[in-house]
Amino acid sequence: MPNSSRNALLLTALAVATAAFTAPAAASLGGDESTVAADHAVLEGQMKSARVQRYAVHEIAAPSGTVVREFVSPAGKVFGVAWSGPTMPDLRQVLGPYFDTYVAAVAQRKAKGPVNVVLPGLVVQSSGHMRSFSGKAYLPDAVPAGVASEEIK
């Protein structure tokens, strides 16, 4: 095999392997705390973390101005996420394995305007207009005892 063909083959294989390992992480809500780092990498933002008595909050400020906050229980699970800013975050990234459930619920809506999906295992509230979006999603059964859903913001 000539060197140029071998090099092209190697570059193609390298590109495929790189794409496989750099695909966006697919678990934030409901995932473990390690997914926060993956979200940070995907959002390419600045991250600040704070711990309060009943949970930790990891805030990622994307270059677009959108801020995503991920709420992590003492057991290390992401029980809630919230966002605000001029653009919507990638909800597939933020909602992780709950994205398809969210999309199915929204598809059944007849109303326009703010989204308020309340299911037994998932709550998603989202509203806004161009340059001003906000929302939150949480897993009611995973919210630590003593934490009110209003704290997820």
**Domain membership flag for residue 17:** no
Q: What pLDDT, on a 0 to 100 scale, did the predictor assign at position 123? A: 98
Residues of the chain with pLDDT under 70: 1-27, 38-41, 43
**Domain membership flag for residue 140:** yes
Q: What pLDDT, on a 0 to 100 scale, did the predictor assign at position 36? A: 75
**Domain membership flag for residue 3:** no
Q: How far apart are CA 53 and CA 103, in angstroms?
A: 33
Distances (CA, A) of 19 to 23, 73, 116: 6, 32, 35
Q: What pLDDT, on a 0 to 100 scale, did the predictor assign at position 27? A: 38
**Domain membership flag for residue 37:** yes
Q: How far apart are CA 34 and CA 47, in angstroms?
A: 14
Angle at 93 between CA 29 and CA 69, to 5 degrees: 55
Residue type, 146: G
> What's the half-sphere exposure (Cβ side, CA atoms, 13 Å) at 135?
23
Domain span at 125: 25-151
Q: What is the pLDDT of residues 55-66, one digit of tens each?
A: 999 998 988 899
Q: Compute the residue count for the chain.
A: 153
**Domain membership flag for residue 6:** no
> What's the half-sphere exposure (Cβ side, CA atoms, 13 Å) at 119?
18
pTM listed for this prediction: 0.78
Q: Which long-range contacts (CB under 8 A, 24 or more apart) does 38-45 make?
A: 39/68, 39/70, 39/93, 39/94, 42/90, 42/93, 43/68, 43/89, 43/93
**Roughly how many angstroms between the first and final C-alpha of the chain, as a whole number?**
59
Q: What pLDDT, on a 0 to 100 scale, did the predictor assign at position 14? A: 28
Overall domain count for the chain? 1
**Domain membership flag for residue 40:** yes
